Structures are given as C-alpha cells and as structure tokens.
Chain A
C-alpha cells in the first residue's frame, strides 16, 4: 500500500516537462520562505521600535530648542536648573552624571581586574565554582535593592564619617561601584580567558615568572577587552537611575564637593517626570536630558566598537 502511494507521488511530480518539474514549489521551498518571512518580520518589528524611540526622544528632546527657543549653549553650560521659571541649565546634572560614572569606574576597575586575574590565573577552580556564581548573582540584583541598601547603610555611614546629610556624589559612587563591579569583572574574566594559552606557555618557557606573565603578556593582550568591560560598566553607571536617585540627594545645583547633595541626568529625570505637563517647557527640558542620555549611550557603544576593531587589527597584523 505504502509503496503504491509512493509510486503515485513520484509519477505526479515526474512529468515530462522538465521546466515545470524544476520550478514547482515543494515543501522544502515553502519552509524556506516561511522561515525567512518570520525572521524578516521580527527584525522589522525591532527596527521599527528602535527607530520610533529614537525619533520620539529626538523630536521631544529638541523641542526645548525649537519651540521654547532655549539656546543649546545655555542648556549645556547654564548652571541654574529651574524649568518652571524658565531657567534651563543642565550643566549640574551633566557634571553629576560624569562625576559618579568616572568615579565608580576608577574605583571599580582595579578591584574587577584583580578579581578577574584571581579567577582565571591564580585559582581557576575556586573562580569557577565560587566566585562566578557570586558575580552572576550580583549582576542580577535589582537596582532598587542596591539603592535601598545605599540609603539604609551607605548614607548614614557617610553622615557619621564626614557629616552633612550623607547624600551626595560619594554615596552614589559607592553604590555604583558595587553595581558596576560584577559587570566589569565578568567581562574582564571573559577577555582574560580569551587570551590564547600559548602566549602564557611561551612566556613561562622563557623563564618569566607567573606575575611577569600575567602583567606583561596576558593583561596586555587582553587590554582591548578590559577597556570594553570598563566602558560597559560606565554605560551602566551613566544610565542607572533609581539607585542613584535614592542616595545622591537630588539637588539640581552645581556639585561643590563630593559630600553635598547633587543630581544626575537620570535622577533629575525620575524626580521631575511626574510633576510636568506634556508640551510645556519643564517637560521638554526633561526630554532634552533624556536625549543627552541617549546620545551618551550611543557614544559608549561606538567607543566599544572602535576598541574592538583596533584590538582585532592588533591581533591580525
């Protein structure tokens, strides 16, 4: 029975018209078409979402300059932020954002690189079994928890040590340090593991010590990867809103020192967004802050790409 069915099918497709035989659709071609359509559809939706977000933020963000006629120079360099009085100086927030970002990256990088060296070169076993899960756990903790701990522990601690309110750039730095540490560490670990084993062997066979091998061969050849890790950490710090807002004090004034209340682009956005009316200057001004954030994250991404490309060149040349 089966055989006759098969024969019938064969006869049906095997007409003498070769052109028809080689052009007609089969299950295979239909599956191909379906698969392709589904993936194009998905890509299309994603591109649409991203493009409309970019357009939305950009169009809203530049309304401050086109509709409310605030000058871009004043926006970027003005130090007075009082949108309801028409004063749109975003410099305090820009400075605040960069301050906490760089401070957190500078503090976190040595710890992250040290931990990564321990995990890959000194004790790979403990690294994999003990530290890897810890770091993955740290990445997964929601930022509000970090912020809460910052508020309950770091801020009172700072208050007791340096006085004042305890809110400020230094508290935010501390919280961000803990938040970016796992990001930088795990990416550094990846880049250290990607260093070809034969580099290490070559160095040891030449009589170099383990420390010389790590510092002059392994770290050096992993440098592009480590820089990428640091930039990703900075991008995370720059974009972090909630945890920072909880500990920085949210005063939209030029930070004079590290221990007085300040604010960042993100903290100002989350603080102010509920109090403004769509289409008014205070609302548009917040969109402009969002636009700066967006541009910065594009910049971080571009930087990562440039570094990756140069790193690749170095290995290929």
Chain B
C-alpha cells in the first residue's frame, strides 16, 4: 500500500531573475473530463539545459509535458499559463502549428513515418513551405549529424525508415524534430523502448544537443535523469513535489516523498 504523503509540503525552486528561461508554467492544471490529472504546476526551464521530469507511472509527468506544445488539445482541458517568449501559449488564439515548430516533441515509441529516411525529415520542412532542394538536402544532413545518425545512414537515405533499428529510429525522430530548428525539444520517455546501447547513444546525442536547444525529458529511469539532466522535477500523483538541481535531488532530497522515491521505496 502506497503511503499517504501531504501535497502541501513541496520544495519547488525558482531561478534568479537574470537566469535566461526558455519556458515557464504558472498554475498549469490538466483535466481529463472530471479527472484532475495535474495540479498547479509551476516550473521554470532554463535555456540550453536539460531538465528531467521524473516520477512513477500516472504521476502526470507525460500529461504535463504534452501540454507544453499543446499536444493535449482535444484530449484534455489545460488551464493556467505557459510562458514562452513572454507570450502565454495556452491561449486559444495562439497558432498551435507555429508553437509546435518551435517546441518539438519526440515520443516514447519511435514513430517514423512509413517513408524513406530522407522523406521522414523532409516531410515537416515541406509542410512548412520549404521547397528549395539544395536547402532541404542540407537540412537533412545537418539534422542527421545533429542526432548522431548521419554516419550510420548516409549511404541509405532512400531506404525505408522502418528498416532501422529501434535506437536508430528514435534518433531519426530526434533528427526530424531538430530539422525544424526548434527552441525547445520535449522528449517523452525517449529511451523506454530501447536497449541499453541505443539508450547510451540517444543520451550522448541529448548532451550534445543541449548546446543549441533547451531539452525537457520525461523519464522513468532515475539513472538516466542523473546522467543527463541539470535539474530535475519530481512528480507524484499529479503534483510537482520537488524541483531542484539534479545533484541535490539525488544526494539530498528535501521532502519525504522524494526521499522515498529516490530510495526506491515505490515507483
């Protein structure tokens, strides 16, 4: 039986005023019909850093992440504010397609289209009006290099993306996202369907990518959070319980629920 923890005692840090932030949410709440899945999430995401969202299944971390680029539209009701470049992008008047160009997303299961590797990357660029062939080719190479996949696929760009291994497919999905040159990259448990070696490759890619992008990653795997992230938010039953630097989170968690989770008592 899971222990009852108080949701009143949380330890959520904020950053100094001069810290450059990529995004921030204010009192973000998510409802699936009558089900209140996310309570008052107030999180700030510093630029060019990796932030990990950890917690047990059903803690609301994926729900929260999907709200950040409005992928919950039509699925759940999201209230509160999501600040991005001083604009509340949770307003209904905001152009969701424009948002998703700037805030890309990679999903749990590698989901390349049943097209060639090249077509997978070109798809979104074309959808956004890029037509120049030379430029498309250039972006294909650049994004595949960025996702550390270029050397493995450069001779087979016209092969079906579905012929790649799981890890390669996931890196292709990352490449596809960064081809759009977004600001922020959201990753929803990107390695949970991958083997350890592919996981290492994806993690190395992420560490490289944070130089250019702000990365927010949901993960089940605490070791992964420890390996890649600069700060870490712990979610529990739809509440953000603790948000602090990754070092502190794993060495000196502030509140009992986080301590128990880190110690492996549940989750």
Report which A residues bind B (CB closer than 8 A): 196, 198-199, 201-209, 212, 216-217, 220-221, 314-317
Contacts and interface: CB of A to CB of B under 8 A. Distances in A.
Of the listed residues A201, A204, A314, A315, the one surrounded by the most CB atoms of chain B closer than 10 A to its CB is: A204
B114 A206 contact: no
A206 B104 contact: yes
A149 to B, nearest CB: 40
A315 B123 contact: no
Given A216-B127, A316-B162, A317-B163, A205 B105 contact: yes
B142 interface: no
Interface residues of B, number: 28
A205 B69 contact: yes
Interface string B149-181: 000000000001011000000000100110010
A207 B107 contact: no
21 contacts: A198-B107, A198-B109, A199-B114, A202-B112, A203-B113, A203-B123, A204-B100, A205-B106, A205-B107, A206-B123, A207-B97, A207-B99, A207-B124, A207-B127, A207-B128, A207-B180, A208-B124, A217-B113, A220-B115, A221-B113, A314-B114
Contacts of B97: 207-209
B101 interface: yes
Given A198-B107, A205-B105, A207-B128, A317 B100 contact: no
Interface of B: 69, 71, 97-101, 104-107, 109, 111-115, 123-124, 127-128, 160, 162-163, 173, 176-177, 180
Nearest to B106: A205
A38 B61 CA distance: 55
Contact of B123 (A204, A208, A221, A317): A208
Contacts of B100: 204-207
B124 A206 contact: yes
Q: Is the interface of A mostly helix, strand, loop or mixed?
A: helix
Nearest to B100: A207
A202 B97 CA distance: 13
Given A202-B173, A208-B128, 17 more contacts: A199-B113, A201-B71, A202-B176, A203-B113, A204-B100, A205-B69, A205-B105, A206-B123, A207-B100, A207-B101, A207-B128, A208-B123, A208-B127, A216-B127, A221-B113, A314-B114, A314-B160
Contacts of A209: 97, 127
A206 B180 contact: yes
A280 B140 CA distance: 71
B97 to A, nearest CB: 5
Return the 6 tightest CB-CB contacts between A and B, nearest first.
A206-B124, A207-B101, A205-B105, A198-B111, A207-B100, A208-B127
Nearest to B69: A205
B70 to A, nearest CB: 9
A249 B87 CA distance: 69
Contacts of B163: 317
Of the listed residues B100, B107, B162, B180, the one surrounded by the most CB atoms of chain A closer than 10 A to its CB is: B100
B127 A204 contact: no
Contacts of B71: 201, 204-205
Contacts of A196: 111
Of the listed residues B99, B127, B162, B176, the one surrounded by the most CB atoms of chain A closer than 10 A to its CB is: B127
